[in-house]
Each structure stands twice: as structure tokens, then as C-alpha cells.
Amino acid sequence: MIDPRTSDFLAEFLASANRDPALLDRFLLHGPDRGGRGARPRLKIAFFDFWPDFDFSANFFVEILSSRFEVSVVENDCDLAIVSVFGTRHREARTARALFFTGENVRPPLDGVDMSVSFDRIDDPRHYRLPLYVMHAWEHLREGATPHFCHPVLPPAPPTREEAAKRKFCAFLYKNPNCARRNDFFQMLCARRHVESVGWLLNNTGSVVKMGWLPKIRVFSRYRFAFAFENASYPGYLTEKILDAFQAGAVPLYWGDPGVLRDVAAGSFIDMSRYSSDEEAIDAILAADDDYDTYRRYRGTAPFLGTEDFYFDAYRLAEWIESRL
């Protein structure tokens, strides 16, 4: 459910003549102006068991919490330990409060921490749902893929017929081989119209694109469609894959979260789950590729507006954490 403050701000912003994306960025990351509160309280944060290249000093949690606190990142002896799933060092944490976070397909240990943040749709006051694509939108901003955090929220400008024609048909970029559903569909679609596999898995181009968000988006921007199949299908498990395609201006071919339409507008992507067979899904993909007006409608639909849920108002997460400290 969209926060009323966010709904009002978005309506006013989208109706205005001068849509300054930086203004929307500030609101979605830091929330409504909370003037008159004086000095921000200090908050010492320590991160435990995050992935190997995680940046401890400049990351999504530090960004949003800095709007509420004077944040310092320490190794231990902290006010808030933020714990993930890549190790066991969290057992050594000396902390007042512990927050569990994961973007992996792992259930949060609600009884072992003070609060948890994950993609799961759990009705529990100790849990906050944050789909991984929201954090990746912030990473895209930081790495320069797009100039604004709010970029995927804004109504997109559909391509001209000439611009669409300059792009190739479809891209497939994966390294993980452990999803038969994804691999089989790639082979079936490729048998009907050539799909370029540009990654390590099932490569058919002779060169391999470096893995990473920015190279992926740059490559996808050369195609009209892009595979956005998850590694597995699980309720709420909606990662960065669909966002990467949107950021590149490619129509996502999506399979994964059975509740994806709660987050993403139906007319903005091709949802495998709405078809009775893979053959029917492929027919729909090829029909959209062959008809510019159909393709243009997909590309002209704002993916994250008008849906049941909205998670780009990241300041709500900062408010929720603040309320539980």
C-alpha cells in the first residue's frame, strides 16, 4: 500500500510543469521535511556478514539513516548491528539492537533479531518488506547508470519507431545455470527468433559481458527485450533483474514472483505467468516485437506507478528502524 504522504507528493510532482528529479530523489530517500527537530541523535552502526564487495561506509542503509541520525560506521560495540547471510561473524556482535537483512531467497529469523528487512511478504510488526530492486535503484544512482534514484518511478518516454528498429531483438545475461525453467525457455524462444546470450551461461555471441549492474544495463540498452527470469519462483522474491531491464529501456520477460503485479504495472512487462503455455508466451513476445504500437505501449507504461504496493519511498524504512531503536 502506498503511503498517503508519498501518494500526495507524487501526484503534485507529476502534475507540476517543472519536474525536478532531484527534488523527488530527496523525498523518496529522506522523506518529508522534519524541520525544527534540532540536532540529530548519534547512531553507531556495524555491518556483519555482507557480501565480499559490500561498501561499509557508503551504502543504502547509511544513506537513508543519515537523514534521521548522525551515523558513524564502526566494527563492533554498536547501537545497531545490521546482519546478513554471508557468514557467522554476527555471533560476535556487541550491540543494543540487531537488524537482519537479506535479498537472497532466505527466510528471516524473526525470533533471533529485533527487526528484519527482506523481500518476504510477512505480516509481522518485526518485519519490513523491502524488495531488492529498491536498493539496486540506489546502487544504479551511485554507479552512474542513471542520474537519479527516482528514474524508474518517472513515466518513461517511449521510443520512436526508428529508435526501436535500431535495437536488436532480445538479450539473455546469466551466469547461474541452476534454473531449468529459465534455460528451457531461452532455448524455446531462440528456436523461434534468435536471442543473444551475452553472459557466461549458454553464450552464443563469442564474447562475454562482464557481470555487474552497470555493464548489464549498458548491454541491455541495445535490445528491445531482455530476460528477467529469477533464479527461483517464490512469493515476494522480486530482485533487481526486472529493474535492470527497465533501466535499460528493454521490455522485461519476467518469471519468478507469482505476486509480481502487486509491485509492477501489468502493461510494462511480459509476465510468463499469465500464459497457459510457453508457446503462447512466445507468440505474445513475437507479436509485440513485430508490432511497433504494441511494443510502444509496453515501453510507455510507468512500471512502478498505479500498483498495489510502492516501495521506492525508502524514507519509510528509516522511520520504521528509528521507531524500533
- Residues 51, 198: Cα–Cα separation, whole Å: 25
* Binned average pLDDT, 10 residues per bin, the chain of 325 residues: 92 93 96 74 96 93 95 97 94 94 91 94 96 94 89 94 98 97 98 97 93 89 98 96 97 98 98 97 99 98 96 96 96
Write out the three cell numbers for 223: 535490445
Confidence (pLDDT) at 36: 57
Confidence (pLDDT) at 181: 97
Confidence (pLDDT) at 145: 84
Domain boundaries, the chain: 4-137+311-323, 156-300
Helices and strands counted in the chain (H then E): 11, 11
- Residues 157, 172: Cα–Cα separation, whole Å: 24
Query: 4-137+311-323, what's its fold?
Result: Rossmann fold (3.40.50)
- Residues 281, 272: Cα–Cα separation, whole Å: 6
* 156-300 CATH pick, 3.40.50.11660, 3.30.450.40, 3.90.180.10, 3.40.50.10680: 3.40.50.11660
Residue partners of 13: CB distance under 8 A and separation at least 6: 19, 23, 24, 27
Q: What angle do CA 40, 42, 47 make, to 5 degrees?
A: 125
Residue partners of 149: CB distance under 8 A and separation at least 6: 25, 28, 29, 137, 138, 141, 312
